[in-house]
Each structure stands twice: as structure tokens, then as C-alpha cells.
């Protein structure tokens, strides 16, 4: 075998190994306990809104689109100004925006606590600061944007509970902040996984999240 062909083989094997490692990390999943602070704090019934940020919105959106009781999920931006709520500006990393998903759900079918459990266990890694997998920058930060006092209390209590139980090897870095404004992302970002299921990024980083949801929460998967 020539030196040139040997070099090609080495590069190929290295790329394959890195890809396999990425898949392994993405499919690892985490089993976590139910929140101690429960829905008894939440008095609102019927259609509710939750807004989460956990890296690239494609995968987070895909996860929650497969959750029973969720009626709509959209990808968008929150945390910055209206004039910078577009993909080109947000990708620069200095707009204050995070890539986020807006989840509309029926609280008679699924609780906010259950959404949080899915968010922390399969939708993303809450211990990664200003990044998620291969994506880096504050626009990929982990954050919960609460819409009322009950959501804030439940989210903060759950983070404290998980940290105290040392569920993760590192502390949770998820921000808990009030939702100001949410801006829906461009049309081509909506339902991205459904439209591009075989795209390499999706296969490595996002398909495993949906598989984890199905495996860890079969009673909630649709």
C-alpha cells in the first residue's frame, strides 16, 4: 500500500471513530428522578406554554414534537432584540439570543414537570456551558425561559434537586430567566429533522435524542 493510500485510510478511520464517539455520546442519555416540587404548585389548566433552549433548536424541537400532550413546537430566538432575531445575526453569537423552542402543551395530558424531565434527560446536556455537542457560543446555551412564578419555582427546585443528587458528573449550568419576547425562526428551520432525517448532523446529533425519548419515556412517546 502506498504512503498516500495509507494516509487516506488513517484519515478515514479517524473520522469514523470521531463520528462513532459523537453518536455514542449523543445516545448516552441520563436517567433522572421525578421533580420533588410537583404540579400542585401549578393551578393553570388547559393549553400552556413552555420555552426551553438547549443547543441547536432542530434536535430539541424534534424531541418535543414526539411528546404526547404537546400540540405544537416551533423553533425560534429569545433573549435579544427583535432586529437581531434572525439566523444570520444570531449565529454571530453576540445578539443575546438563544436558539430556543416554544412548546404548546395540554396540561391535562402532560405536566410542566414532565417536560422538564425530558429536557434535562434526553433533549440536551445541561452541564455544557454555552455549547452543545459540536455547536459553541452563547446562542447554544442551556436555558429555561419561564412564563410565570410557578414555572420558575418548579425549574429552580428541580435543578437544585438534580445537583444535590449528583445526577450529572458536573453541575447544571442551565439559566432560569423570565421570558421576555420569543421570535419564531425562519421557515426552513421548522420541522427540520422531519424534512432532513438523513442529514449527517441530524443522524449523529439529533436522531439519537428522539430514540432516547422513545426508550426512556415510552408512555409519553407519540
Domain ranges of the chain: 3-216
pLDDT of residue 198: 98
What's the CA gap between 125 and 129, in Å, rounded? 9
Catalytic residue numbers read 56
**C-beta pairs of 127-131 under 8 Å, 24+ apart in sequence:** 127/168, 127/169, 127/170, 127/171, 127/172, 127/173, 128/55, 128/173, 129/173, 131/55
CA pair distance 185, 60, nearest whole angstrom: 14
Give me the tens of pLDDT residue by residue for the chain, a chain 222 residues long.
443 433 343 333 344 444 434 333 444 568 899 998 765 544 456 899 999 999 999 999 999 999 999 999 999 999 999 999 999 999 999 999 999 999 999 999 999 999 999 999 999 999 999 999 999 999 999 999 999 999 999 999 999 999 999 999 999 999 999 999 999 999 999 999 999 999 999 999 999 999 999 999 999 999
The dihedral region occupied by 191, where left means phi > 0, alpha psi between -120 and 50, and beta the remainder, is: left
Per-residue pLDDT, 182: 98
So what's the pLDDT on residue 18?
A: 40
Q: Which of 193, 158, 194 is nearest to 176 (CA)?
A: 158
Give the bridge partners for 49, in sequence order: 104
- Beta pairing class for 135-136 and 182-184: unpaired
pLDDT of residue 37: 76
Fold of 3-216: 3.30.1060
Please give the Cα distance from 92 to 43 (Å, whole number).
Answer: 40
Is the full-model pTM beyond 0.75?
yes
Amino acid at each position: 500500500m502506498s504512503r498516500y493510500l495509507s494516509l487516506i485510510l488513517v484519515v478515514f478511520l479517524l473520522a469514523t471513530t470521531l463520528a462513532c464517539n459523537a453518536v455514542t455520546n449523543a445516545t448516552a442519555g441520563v436517567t433522572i428522578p421525578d421533580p420533588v416540587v410537583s404540579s400542585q404548585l401549578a393551578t393553570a389548566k388547559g393549553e400552556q406554554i413552555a420555552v426551553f433552549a438547549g443547543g441547536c433548536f432542530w434536535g430539541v424541537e424534534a424531541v418535543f414534537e414526539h411528546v404526547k400532550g404537546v400540540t405544537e413546537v416551533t423553533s425560534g430566538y429569545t433573549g435579544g432584540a427583535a432586529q437581531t432575531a434572525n439566523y444570520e445575526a444570531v449565529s454571530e453569537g453576540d445578539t443575546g439570543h438563544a436558539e430556543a423552542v416554544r412548546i404548546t402543551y395540554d396540561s391535562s395530558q402532560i405536566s410542566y414537570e414532565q417536560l422538564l424531565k425530558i429536557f434535562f434527560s434526553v433533549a440536551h446536556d445541561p452541564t455544557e456551558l454555552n455549547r452543545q455537542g459540536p455547536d459553541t457560543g452563547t446562542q447554544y446555551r442551556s436555558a429555561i425561559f419561564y412564563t410565570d412564578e410557578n414555572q420558575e419555582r418548579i425549574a429552580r427546585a428541580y435543578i437544585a434537586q438534580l445537583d444535590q443528587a449528583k445526577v450529572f458528573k458536573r453541575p447544571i449550568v442551565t439559566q432560569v430567566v423570565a421570558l421576555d419576547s420569543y421570535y419564531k425562526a425562519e421557515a426552513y428551520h421548522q420541522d427540520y429533522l422531519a424534512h432532513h432525517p438523513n442529514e449527517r448532523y441530524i443522524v449523529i446529533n439529533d436522531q439519537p435524542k428522539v430514540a432516547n425519548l422513545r426508550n426512556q419515556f415510552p408512555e409519553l412517546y407519540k
